[in-house]
Amino acid sequence: MKAHTKESQSTMTPEKAVQFLSEGNERFQNNLKANRNLLQQVNDTSEGQFPFATILSCIDSRVSAELVFDQGLGDIFSVRIAGNFVNEDILGSMEFASKLAGTKLIVVLGHTSCGAIKGACDHARLGNLTKLIQKIEPAVDAVKEPQEEEKRNSKNLEFVDAVSAKNVELTIDRIRKESPVLKEMEDDGDIKIVGAMYNVATGAVDFL
């Protein structure tokens, strides 16, 4: 499989981009990697890049977007931050990726058993981590069940995963609200903004 070119990127649609990632994750789950010559891709992309998707994911060592979607060099822009939320810099990066570099899809990828989400559920406080956790805590408040306080913490993995999925949803809302550039592109059908959850136990990605 060769690196994407300007021509292949120009024929890509948001729907096809989702399909490409879904097929890649199927290969990953079945331990069937696409046949790639990465050194050849280094050469092919040395004078330019034409990725088809932008993926915002967590820094978690188990959730490398390139690996779980079985993508090669030059295929995706990968943005990583604990808790996969957005700020001004990340939104700017996404605007560059979509408006200037031509990606057709933005994926906000959460995952199960997320440490940052667990920290938010426990309202952890530690140095600079405190401000990061506070950016995720609205997702904790938005999940109404269970109501019992003793069940609304990191020991309840079902609650943690529900908060993680809600965080993906709220992050997508923020992208649309805080980036008129991306909102307009989505409204015009040039891109799609979608959410997904990665299961660290199975390797499966479910698009929300």
Q: Which residues belong to the annotated binding site for Zn(2+)?
A: 58, 60, 111, 114
For the record, the structure tokens of 67 come out as: 């690996």
Strand partners, 106: 54, 193
For the record, the structure tokens of 28 come out as: 């990953």
Binding residues: 58, 60, 111, 114
Under a CB-based contact definition with an 8 Å cutoff, are residues 113 and 162 in contact?
A: no
Pairing of strands 192-198, 205-207: antiparallel
Give the separation between CA 136 and CA 59, rounded to whole angstroms. 15
Under a CB-based contact definition with an 8 Å cutoff, are residues 108 and 164 in contact?
A: no
